[in-house]
Amino acid sequence: MKQLELNVYLAGEIHTDWRKQIINKSEDMGLNIVFTSPVTDHEASDLCGIRILGEEEKPFWRDRKGADINAIRRLKMIKDAELVVVKFGDEYKQWNAAFDAGYASALNKSLIILHDEKYDHALKEVDAAANATARTPEQVVEILKYVLL
Amino acid sequence: MKQLELNVYLAGEIHTDWRKQIINKSEDMGLNIVFTSPVTDHEASDLCGIRILGEEEKPFWRDRKGADINAIRRLKMIKDAELVVVKFGDEYKQWNAAFDAGYASALNKSLIILHDEKYDHALKEVDAAANATARTPEQVVEILKYVLL
Amino acid sequence: MKQLELNVYLAGEIHTDWRKQIINKSEDMGLNIVFTSPVTDHEASDLCGIRILGEEEKPFWRDRKGADINAIRRLKMIKDAELVVVKFGDEYKQWNAAFDAGYASALNKSLIILHDEKYDHALKEVDAAANATARTPEQVVEILKYVLL
Amino acid sequence: MKQLELNVYLAGEIHTDWRKQIINKSEDMGLNIVFTSPVTDHEASDLCGIRILGEEEKPFWRDRKGADINAIRRLKMIKDAELVVVKFGDEYKQWNAAFDAGYASALNKSLIILHDEKYDHALKEVDAAANATARTPEQVVEILKYVLL
Amino acid sequence: MKQLELNVYLAGEIHTDWRKQIINKSEDMGLNIVFTSPVTDHEASDLCGIRILGEEEKPFWRDRKGADINAIRRLKMIKDAELVVVKFGDEYKQWNAAFDAGYASALNKSLIILHDEKYDHALKEVDAAANATARTPEQVVEILKYVLL
Amino acid sequence: MKQLELNVYLAGEIHTDWRKQIINKSEDMGLNIVFTSPVTDHEASDLCGIRILGEEEKPFWRDRKGADINAIRRLKMIKDAELVVVKFGDEYKQWNAAFDAGYASALNKSLIILHDEKYDHALKEVDAAANATARTPEQVVEILKYVLL
Amino acid sequence: MKQLELNVYLAGEIHTDWRKQIINKSEDMGLNIVFTSPVTDHEASDLCGIRILGEEEKPFWRDRKGADINAIRRLKMIKDAELVVVKFGDEYKQWNAAFDAGYASALNKSLIILHDEKYDHALKEVDAAANATARTPEQVVEILKYVLL
Amino acid sequence: MKQLELNVYLAGEIHTDWRKQIINKSEDMGLNIVFTSPVTDHEASDLCGIRILGEEEKPFWRDRKGADINAIRRLKMIKDAELVVVKFGDEYKQWNAAFDAGYASALNKSLIILHDEKYDHALKEVDAAANATARTPEQVVEILKYVLL
C-alpha cells in the first residue's frame, strides 16, 4: 500500500520552539507529513501590512492591514490541512489561536489541542471539539506516528 | 415590503448585562430580531454534564461532559444565526468566545466584535474577520437598527 | 426572547417504548420540540416496498424495495433534525441505527446515543462522535430541557 | 488516455484477511488503486489513546481517548476515498462498520458492502445505500477491475 | 407529534393528467404535502421567453430565452423539494425530465420515477438513482401516504 | 396547490425608482413575493459606518466602516433570495452591482440583469451568467408573474 | 506560466467514434487534457452486474445491478471533471446522457452539448444549462484548444 | 518543511502589462506560484464564440457565445485559485472584473484588489471583501512573497 501522507497545520503560540520539536522528531521518524505554520516572526507578522501597503496612524488600522494579509496564508493552510494542532501557552491572550481552532472545527478538520493542565477548564469547549488534548510535543508526534501506521 | 427579520446569536462574556442591554433597547425600538444566547448561568453551564449524566472524578471529564452538552445548544444557535455578536470582557481567558467567532466565520456568518480598545491588538485577527468592532452595546443596537432599516 | 425550538429525530430500536417516554415527558415539561421517528411498526416497515410496488421472489429485492422507500422518510427526517437521538437495545443487529448515526454525524448533526453500559466498548466510535451517551430516556429529556433553557 | 486511479478505503471487520486478499489480487492484476485501512491491530487500536495520552481508570474514557485518535485516521481516509468497501463478519457488534458506511454515504462516496447472505435482512438499509452487495473478496476485485477498465 | 409535511416536485411529462391524479388523491387522503410543478401549458412554456423579452429570428435563441426563464421556476422548485417525482411518457424525447432527475439526484433529493415497464432498460441509470420505480400515480400516492404515516 | 412564494433581492442602481415600479406592479398583480433591497438612501448608506462607530480621517477607512456594515444586510439578503435582479444604470461605476451579481451567481441564485442595450457588450459576462436580460421594469414583472403562474 | 491542464468527461452516445475523434485531435494538437469516459462496450456495460455478482431472473434487477456498478465509475468521473461533454445521437432514448448532464450541472461543472440541429428544441433545457452547443467533434476540440490557450 | 505553493488567478484589466510585471518579478524572486489568467488577447476573447460555433447576426448573441466559452476557462481558474488578484484600470466599464471578484468572494477565495486611489469610493464594497488593496504590481508581489515566507 502507498504510504499515507498527512497535511498538518501548526497553529497558535509562536514564542517557544514547539513547532521545531514536532517537525524534527517527525522527520527523525521518517513520518510522511507536510507541516505548515503561520509566519512565526512576531515583528514580521505584526508589521507586514504597513511595510508593504504603507503606514497607518491609527494602531487599529495598522493591525487590520497586517491581519488581513496574514489571513491569506492562515486560511489557505487551514483549508489545505487535514489535521490542525493548536498550542496554547502562557503569554498573551491567544484569541487568534482559539479563533483558528473554531474555524478549523467548522471545516471538519481533525484537531489536537496542546496545553498545560492548568488551562483545562478555560479550554473545555475547545478540547471538546478536538480529537486529543496533548500535554507535550512528544505526545503530538506519537499521535502523528500512530495515525500514519 | 415585508419587514426584514434578523437572527442574532449573542456569544461570549456572561458576567455583565450586555445581552440584556442589547435585547431591551432593540425591543424598545421595535426591531424584528430573534436573539439567542448560550446558557448564561455560569454554574448551570459548568455542571450540566455531571448533573444529568452522572459525576466524574476527574475535572477534565466533568468539563467534557458539560461542554459537549452545551455544544448542542451553541452550534444550533450559531447555525441558525445570520449575525453573531461576540463580546470580550476583562475576566477569564474567553477562548470559547474566540472559538465561536472562528466557527461562525468559517460558516460565513456576519460578525460584530464588542470589546474595549485595550484589546485591539490582541483581537486583530478576530476583528479582521468581522463586519464591525463595536465599543458599546448601544453601537451594536445602532448597527442592528441600520441593518433592518 | 422568542422561545427556542428544536427538531429531534429519534432513531434506532423500535421494540420498546423509549420514544413514547421521551415524547411524553417532554410534552409534560412543555418543551418546544418537533419529534420525528422512522415508521416503528416493524411489519409495515419491512413490507412497504412489496405492498405498494408489487411482490418479489427474492428476499433480497423485497428488502431493497422497502429500504428504499423508508429512506425517503428517514433521510428527510435526519436532514430536518438538529439533534439525532439513537437508541441501541438488546435485540437484532441494529446496523441501521449505527448507519443513521454515521450519516447524521457526517451532516454535522448533534447526537445523543442511548444505550446500556455493556455496549460501551462496542459503541466507542459512535459515542465518540456524539454529544452525550445517555443511559435512560429520562437523561435524554433532561438534556433536551437544558438545551432549551 | 491516462490510466484511471481509484482511492479505496477498506472499512469494517479486522479479524480475517479479506483486505490482504483484495489488495494482493488487485496488485496481481495491475490495478491502479490506492488502498487505505483503519489500524487493523486490534490491541494497538484499542489502546492507542491511553498509551499516548496516559491511563484512564474508567473503561469509558479509555475507549474515548482511543476512538478519538482513530477518528483522525478513519475520517481522513473516508474523505480521501472515492469508494468505501465495508465488510461485515460474524464476530462483534460491528457498529463502527455500519457507522462508517453511513458516514461515507452522507459524503456521497460509492459503497460496496461485503457480507454473507444470512445478514441480508439486517443490512438492508446499508445495502440499499450501496452500489453493490458482494459475497466474496473476489467479487470486490472484479468490480474494481471493471470500474478501472 | 406535529404532523409531518413534505415538499414534492412533479417533474416530467406534461401531456397527461398524472399530476392532477396524484394531487387529488393526496388531498382526498388529507396528506400534508406541498406540490410544485413546472408550467404545464406547453405553449406558454415554449413561448414565455419571446413573449416577455421580444421575438427572435432563430428558433435556437427563441428556445434559449424560454428555457432560461423556465429554469428560474424549475430550479427553485427542485431546491425546495425533498422528493422529486419524474414521469416519463410516450411522447417526445423527454430529455428535460432526465436532466431534472440528474440535477435532483446530485442535490441528494429523494426520487420516484414513474414509467411503463417498456422503458425499464432505457431508464436503468435513472431508476438506479431513485428510491422507487412506480408504474401508476396510485403507487406514487401510496408511497407518499406511507412516508407521511 | 399552495401558492408559490418567491424571495427577490433588488440589487444595483439606487438613483431611479425602478424598485418601486417593480414592487408596485407586483403588488397590483397580487404576486406573492418578498422583495428586499440594499439601503437606497445614498447618504445613509455611505455614512452609516462613521455615524455609528465614530469618524475616520482617511476616506478609505470611512468607506470601509460603511461597506462592512452594509455587507451584513446585503449578504443576508442575497443568501435569502432565490432570484436576484441587478440593475445597471448610467451613473457611477456600479462595480458593487456587478460584484453582487458575481456573488449571487456563485451561490447558484437565479439572476435577471436589467440594463439598456448600449451596455450589452460591457455586460456580456454578467448577462451570460443570468436567466434573463430585461430592458424595462415591466419585463422583470412579467417574468416574475410567469414564474409564479 | 505552468501549462493549464483540463479534466474532461465524455458522456452520452457510445455507438459512434466521436470520443476517439476528440481525443485523437486533442493529442495531435498537444492539448494537456485528461479524458475520461464511461465503459463504451455496450454488452460489457449492460452485463457487468450479473457477470460479477450473479444472474437475476428479472430484467429489472439485472439492469439495476449493472447500473449501480457503472455509477461508481460514472460519478467518480463526473466529480473529477471540470468540463463534461455530452453527445446526443440518433439511437436509443439517451436518458442516461441527459441525466448525466443534469447531475454535472448541479455540481457546477462546465458543459458542452454535442448534437444535431434537429434536436435543438428537444434539448433546449439542456443546452440552456451549458456553455456551448457544438455540432461536430471538431468544434469541441476547437473549444478545448481555446480554453487551454 | 516542504515549500509552500500558491495558485493565483489574475483577473480584470487586460490592456496594460500588470500581469507580466507580477509574474516576472515573482519568478525573479523564485516564488513557487502557479499563475493563471483569462485570455488577454481582446479580439480572440471577443470572437471565440462565433469563430468556433458560427456567426450570429445579433451582437447580443455573438457576445453570449463568446462569454459562455470564456466562462469555462474563467470559472475553472477561479475555482482552482487560492488567491484572486483583480485589477481595475481606467478604460471600459470593467463589470466583468467586479463580477469575478464577487464570484471569488462567495467561494471564500482570498482577494487582492489592485487600483488607483481615485477609485477607492467606487470600489469600497469590493475592497471591503478583500485581504488587501494594492496600488502597484510591486505591492502585490511583496504580499505574495510574504505569504510564501
Kindly report the nearest CA distance between residue E88 and chain G, in angstroms.
Answer: 10
Name chain D contacts of C124, Cβ cutoff 8 Å: 63-64, 66-67, 96
Q: Is E148 left (phi over 0), alpha (psi -120 to 50) or beta?
A: alpha
* H/C touch flag: 3 or more CB pairs below 8 Å: no
Strand A83-87, strand A6-12: pairing: parallel
CB within 8 Å of F115: residues ≥ 6 apart = F87, F88, F89, F123, F133, F135
pLDDT mean over C16-32: 97
User: Helix and strand tally (H, E) in chain E?
Assistant: 6, 5
C-beta separation of F82 from F57 below 8 A: no
State the Cα–Cα distance between residues H4 and A79, nearest whole angstrom: 13
pLDDT attached to residue B115: 98
Kindly report the nearest CA distance between residue H27 and chain F, in angstroms.
Answer: 31
Give the ipTM: 0.97
State the Cα–Cα distance between residues F128 and F111, nearest whole angstrom: 10
DSSP states of G63-74: HHHHHHHHHHHH
Closest CA to E45 of E88, E13, E9: E13
pLDDT mean over F94-117: 98
- Total length of chain E: 149
DSSP D115: -
**Residue F1 scores a pLDDT above 80:** no
Tell me if chain D has a CB within 8 Å of the CB of B92. Answer: no
Name chain E contacts of G129, Cβ cutoff 8 Å: 71, 99
Provide Rg for chain F, Cα atoms: 16
Kindly report the nearest CA distance between residue H79 and chain E, in angstroms.
Answer: 19
Minimal-distance CA residue of chain B relative to A123 = B95
Kindly report the nearest CA distance between residue C27 and chain E, in angstroms.
Answer: 10
Q: Is A36 left (phi over 0), alpha (psi -120 to 50) or beta?
A: beta
Q: How many CB atoms lie within 10 A of CB B120?
A: 17
State the Cα–Cα distance between residues B109 and B115, nearest whole angstrom: 19
Out of D132, D133, D147, the one facing G73 most closely (by C-beta) is D147
Hey, which bits of D13-149 come out as E strands?
33-36, 83-87, 110-114, 132-134
Tell me if chain G has a CB within 8 Å of the CB of H37. Answer: yes
DSSP states of B36-67: E-----HHHHHHHHHHHH---SSHHHHHHHHH
State the Cα–Cα distance between residues F12 and F98, nearest whole angstrom: 8
**Residue H20 scores a pLDDT above 70:** yes
Closest CA to F10 of F80, F66, F72: F80
Tell me if chain H has a CB within 8 Å of the CB of A69. Answer: yes
Kindly report the nearest CA distance between residue G115 and chain H, in angstroms.
Answer: 13
Q: Model confidence at D2, in pLDDT bands (50, 70, 90)? A: low
**Residue C3 scores a pLDDT above 80:** no
- Under an 8 A CB cutoff, do F57 and A57 touch? yes
Q: Which secondary structure element, helix H or strand E, spans residue D47, and what is its range?
A: helix D42-53
Using CB atoms and an 8 Å cut-off, which of residues 123-142 of chain D contact chain G? Answer: 130-135, 139, 142
pLDDT attached to residue A1: 53
**pLDDT digits 0-9 by tens, D9-42:** 999 999 999 999 999 999 999 999 999 999 999 9
- Under an 8 A CB cutoff, do D125 and C94 touch? no
C-beta separation of F120 from F9 below 8 A: no
Closest CA to H8 of H111, H82, H94: H82
- Under an 8 A CB cutoff, do D146 and G69 touch? yes
State the Cα–Cα distance between residues E95 and G125, nearest whole angstrom: 8
Name chain A contacts of H1, Cβ cutoff 8 Å: 23, 34-37
C-beta separation of A25 from A137 below 8 A: yes
Name chain G contacts of C68, Cβ cutoff 8 Å: none
Closest CA to E66 of E53, E52, E48: E48
3-state secondary structure of D114: strand
State the Cα–Cα distance between residues G62 and G58, nearest whole angstrom: 6
DSSP H87: E
State the Cα–Cα distance between residues E119 and E93, nearest whole angstrom: 13
> Residue type for F20, please?
K
Tell me if chain A has a CB within 8 Å of the CB of D88. Answer: no
Name chain F contacts of E75, Cβ cutoff 8 Å: 108, 110
**pLDDT digits 0-9 by tens, E45-104:** 999 999 999 999 999 999 999 999 999 999 999 999 999 999 999 999 999 999 999 999
pLDDT attached to residue H1: 53
Strand E33-36, strand E6-12: pairing: parallel
pLDDT mean over H47-73: 98
3-state secondary structure of G83: strand
Name chain G contacts of E68, Cβ cutoff 8 Å: 128
Q: How many CB atoms lie within 10 A of CB C51?
A: 16
- Under an 8 A CB cutoff, do C67 and D107 touch? no
Sheet containing G110-114, strands listed edge to edge, beginning at the edge strand earlier in sequence: G33-36, G6-12, G83-87, G110-114, G132-134
pLDDT attached to residue B3: 77
Q: Which secondary structure element, helix H or strand E, spans residue A84, and what is its range?
A: strand A83-87
**pLDDT digits 0-9 by tens, G42-62:** 999 999 999 999 999 999 999
Out of F67, F100, F133, the one facing H124 most closely (by C-beta) is F67
DSSP D133: E
Could you tell me the sign of the dihedral formed by the alpha carbons of H93, H95, H101, H104, in that order? negative
Q: For all residues of chain B together, what is the average pLDDT?
A: 97
**Residue G2 scores a pLDDT above 80:** no
**pLDDT digits 0-9 by tens, E21-35:** 999 999 999 999 999
pLDDT mean over G81-109: 97
Q: Model confidence at B2, in pLDDT bands (50, 70, 90)? A: low
Q: For all residues of chain F together, what is the average pLDDT?
A: 97
Closest CA to A101 of B101, B92, B85, B71: B101
- Under an 8 A CB cutoff, do H146 and A75 touch? no
Name chain H contacts of G6, Cβ cutoff 8 Å: 76
Q: Is E9 left (phi over 0), alpha (psi -120 to 50) or beta?
A: beta
**pLDDT digits 0-9 by tens, D94-115:** 999 999 999 999 999 999 999 9
3-state secondary structure of D23: helix
Percent of chain G with pLDDT over 70: 99
pLDDT attached to residue D11: 98
Neighbours of chain A (3+ CB pairs under 8 A): B, D, F, H
Tell me if chain G has a CB within 8 Å of the CB of D50. Answer: no
Closest CA to A13 of A34, A37, A46: A37
Kindly report the nearest CA distance between residue F15 and chain E, in angstroms.
Answer: 24
- Under an 8 A CB cutoff, do G72 and D142 touch? no
State the Cα–Cα distance between residues F26 and F29, nearest whole angstrom: 5
Out of B68, B103, B124, the one facing A105 most closely (by C-beta) is B103
* H/D touch flag: 3 or more CB pairs below 8 Å: no
Q: According to the 3-state scheme, what is the secondary structure of chain F?
A: CCCCCEEEEEEECCCCCHHHHHHHHHHHCCCCEEEECCCCCHHHHHHHHHHHHCCCCCHHHHHHHHHHHHHHHHHHHHHHCCEEEEECCCCCCCHHHHHHHHHHHHCCCEEEEECCHHHCCCCHHHHHCCCEEECCHHHHHHHHHHHCC
pLDDT attached to residue G4: 87
pLDDT attached to residue F2: 65
* DSSP-assigned beta bridge partners for residue F111: F84
State the Cα–Cα distance between residues H82 and H107, nearest whole angstrom: 10
Out of B34, B37, B52, the one facing C146 most closely (by C-beta) is B52
Strand C132-134, strand E33-36: pairing: unpaired
Tell me if chain E has a CB within 8 Å of the CB of C68. Answer: yes
Tell me if chain F has a CB within 8 Å of the CB of A59. Answer: no
Kindly report the nearest CA distance between residue H147 and chain F, in angstroms.
Answer: 23
* H/G touch flag: 3 or more CB pairs below 8 Å: yes
Cell of C123: 459503541
- Under an 8 A CB cutoff, do H61 and E57 touch? no
| Residue F3 C-beta-side C-alpha neighbours within 13 Å | 7
Q: For all residues of chain G together, what is the average pLDDT?
A: 97
Residues of chain A with pLDDT under 70: 1-2
pLDDT mean over G3-21: 95
Kindly report the nearest CA distance between residue G63 and chain E, in angstroms.
Answer: 6
pLDDT attached to residue A3: 77
C-beta separation of G148 from H77 below 8 A: no
Minimal-distance CA residue of chain D relative to G36 = D1
**pLDDT digits 0-9 by tens, A19-52:** 999 999 999 999 999 999 999 999 999 999 999 9
* Mutation for D interface: B53, B58, B63, most D CBs within 10 A: B58
State the Cα–Cα distance between residues F146 and D123, nearest whole angstrom: 48
Tell me if chain E has a CB within 8 Å of the CB of F4. Answer: yes
User: How far does CA H68 lie from the centroid of its chain?
Assistant: 17
Neighbours of chain H (3+ CB pairs under 8 A): A, E, F, G
Sheet containing H132-134, strands listed edge to edge, beginning at the edge strand earlier in sequence: H33-36, H6-12, H83-87, H110-114, H132-134
Minimal-distance CA residue of chain G relative to E65 = G128
* H/A touch flag: 3 or more CB pairs below 8 Å: yes
DSSP states of E1-41: -PPP-EEEEEEE--SSSHHHHHHHHHHHTT--EEEE-----
Q: For all residues of chain H together, what is the average pLDDT?
A: 97
pLDDT attached to residue A2: 65
- Under an 8 A CB cutoff, do F53 and B146 touch? no
Q: Model confidence at D5, in pLDDT bands (50, 70, 90)? A: very high
Hey, which bits of D46-128 come out as E strands?
83-87, 110-114
CB within 8 Å of B23: residues ≥ 6 apart = B35, C1
3-state secondary structure of B119: helix
Out of F82, F110, F134, the one facing E53 most closely (by C-beta) is F134
pLDDT attached to residue C79: 98
Percent of chain F with pLDDT over 70: 99
State the Cα–Cα distance between residues G144 and G31, nearest whole angstrom: 8
